[in-house]
Amino acid sequence: MVNFLQLIIAVYFNALEPPYIALRILYMLGAWGLLKKSGLKPAWALVPWACEYQLSRCANREPEGRVYSLTGVAISFLTAAEVYLRQTRNISLSVLVLPLLMSVAIMRTIYTLRVFSGFVEVYGVKKTWLILCIFDSTVVIPMFVWGYDKRYQPEWEVEDLAAEMKRLATEGSADVMSEGLTVNLQERSVREFLHKNMLLRDIHLAIPKGHLVVLLGGSGAGKTTFLNAVNGYEKAKAEIMLNGHNVYTQYKDMLYEVGVVPQSEIMRNKDTVIGTMRDVAKLRLSIDIPLHERLKRVDDVLEIFGLTPVKEYKVEKLSGGQKKRLSIAMELISNPSIFMLDEPDSGLDGVMARELFVRLRKIADSGKIVIAITHNPDRIIDLVDDVIVLAKDSTRTGRLAFYGSIADARKFFKCERMEEILKLINQKDEGGEGLADDFVLKYAEVANG
C-alpha cells in the first residue's frame, strides 16, 4: 500500500521522467498568475487537482471544471495502477487498465478545451489560442502569457463581480403582506466539491392574492429551485410568508395551503378519474368533513376543470391536456391559497395550453395566487398579471432580473414578446445575448430606488 501511494504522488508530478517535473512546475507558475489576476488566492496553484477547479472558476466554466479536475485525479490513479501492475508483473490486468486510461485522457482533453475556451472569452483573445491547449506540453504557453503579460487583463474578477452584484441586490427586502405571498430569499446553496455552489441569491418580491404569475428564465436559472424553496420542499436561507404565516416555521400547518403540481404527472393509470379524486380527498381533507360534503367537493372540482364527462374513464385513457387538468384538480381539492406549477403546458399544443391557462386564470380570480413556469409565455400572456424573470449571472447563480406587470416588463426590457426577454438574458453559449448581469444590476438599482 505504501509503495502504491508513493507511485500516485510520483505520477502526479510525472517524476518517472525528469522533463515532466519542469512541466508541472511551469503549469503551477502559469496557474499562479491566472488565479492572481482573477482575484482568487494564487496558492491554489500549489494544490494538486484543486488547482484545475479554481482555474475553471476564473474562466467562468465551473461545471466543466469539476470534470476537468476529476479527470486529472483519475489519470493519476490509473497511471499509478498501470505502473504498479507492471512492476508486480501482473501484465494481464495492466493491459486492461490502458484502454480506460486512454478514454479518461481523451475526456480530459475535451474538458481542458472547454475550460480554456472560457479563458479565451474572459481575456478577449482569438480562438486559435486553443490549439496550444490541446497538449500538456503547450498549454503552459497561454497560461504564462495571460497570467503575466500586462497587456492581457480579465474582463472581471471572480470575487469582485459577485460582491458587487450582492451589494446592489441586498440593500432592501419586500415588505410582508398580511394577505398574499412575500418572498425574502437571501440564498439557496449547496456544498459541492471544494466550493459552495450558489443556486439562487437575493430574490425579494411580494405577490398579492388573485394574481396569476408566470416564472421565466433560461436553463439553469433556478426556476424549479425557486418554487421548491418557496413551498418549503428545499429550504433556503429565506423568510417565506403566506397570508401572514411563515411557511418554514409553520410548515405542518401550511402544508395544504400550498398546492404544487410537478412537471410529471403522479397518478395511477389504472384508476378512474373519480376514484383518483376521491382517494386524494381522503388524504387531503379533514376527517371531520362529512362524507357527502367530501363527495360534493370532488364533484365541484371535476366540474371546474371540465372533467365531469370523463370521470368514469381510467387515467390512462385521458388526453395529455386532461391529465394536466387532473393533476391540478388533485391539488385544488384541499383549497390551497397558492398554486405552483412546473411547466403545466409542456407537451400541449397552443389550443390546449390556452384552455389550461384560462382555468388557471379562473383559479386566480377566486382569490388564489398561481405561479407557473412556462417556456411558451406569449401564447397565454394576455391572461397573466405579473412576470418573474430569473437570470443566470456570470457566477452562474440564479438572480432576480425583473418582477412586475407585463406592461412594465415590456418597458424594462424594451421588448414586446416575453420570448425576446429570454433571448436577452440567456448566456451566449445558450443562443442568447448574454445580458443577464446587465438586467440583474439594472433591476436591483430600480428596486433599491
* Spatial CB neighbours of 74, under 8 Å, sequence gap ≥ 6: 104
**Full-model pTM:** 0.69
* Spatial CB neighbours of 100, under 8 Å, sequence gap ≥ 6: 78
For residue 171, pLDDT over 70 is answered with no
Q: What is the largest CA-CA distance in the chain?
A: 86
Which of 81-95, 172-186, 339-353, 374-388 reaches the highest mean pLDDT? 374-388
Report the distance separating Cα 255 and Cα 274, nearest Å.
24
Cα 428 to the chain's mean position, in Å?
A: 17
Say what the pLDDT of residue 168 is.
Answer: 54
Cβ–Cβ < 8 Å for 263, 343: yes
Cell 360534503, residue located? 293
Mean pLDDT of the chain: 84
Say what the pLDDT of residue 445 is.
Answer: 81
Say what the pLDDT of residue 209 is.
Answer: 94
Say if strands 338-342 and 369-373 run parallel, antiparallel, or are unpaired.
parallel
Say what the pLDDT of residue 346 is.
Answer: 81
Say what the pLDDT of residue 336 is.
Answer: 87
Cβ–Cβ < 8 Å for 210, 365: yes
Mean per-residue pLDDT, 417-437? 86
Give all strands of the β-sheet with 195-207 in edge-to-edge order.
245-246, 237-242, 181-192, 195-207, 398-405, 386-392, 212-217, 369-373, 338-342, 258-261
Give pLDDT tens digits for 312-368.
Answer: 888 888 888 888 888 888 888 888 899 999 888 887 787 888 888 998 999 999 999
Identify the CATH assignment for 162-447 out of 3.40.50.2300, 3.40.50.300, 3.30.300.210, 3.20.20.80: 3.40.50.300
List Cα–Cα distances, 289 to 252, 253, 278, 309, 330, in angstroms.
19, 18, 13, 26, 17
CATH 3.40.50.300 in the chain is located at: 162-447
Give pLDDT tens digits for 263-309.
Answer: 776 778 788 989 888 888 888 777 778 888 888 888 888 888 888 99
Say what the pLDDT of residue 190 is.
Answer: 80
What does R_g of the chain's alpha carbons equal in angstroms?
27
C-alpha cell at 14: 510525472
Cell 522533463, residue located? 19
C-alpha cell at 55: 482555474
Q: 305 by DSSP, 3-state: which? A: coil
Give pLDDT tens digits for 234-265.
Answer: 889 899 999 989 999 888 888 788 888 877 76
Can you point out the beta strands (E) in 69-152?
none
Give pLDDT tens digits for 211-238.
Answer: 999 999 988 889 999 999 999 888 898 9
Say what the pLDDT of residue 369 is.
Answer: 95
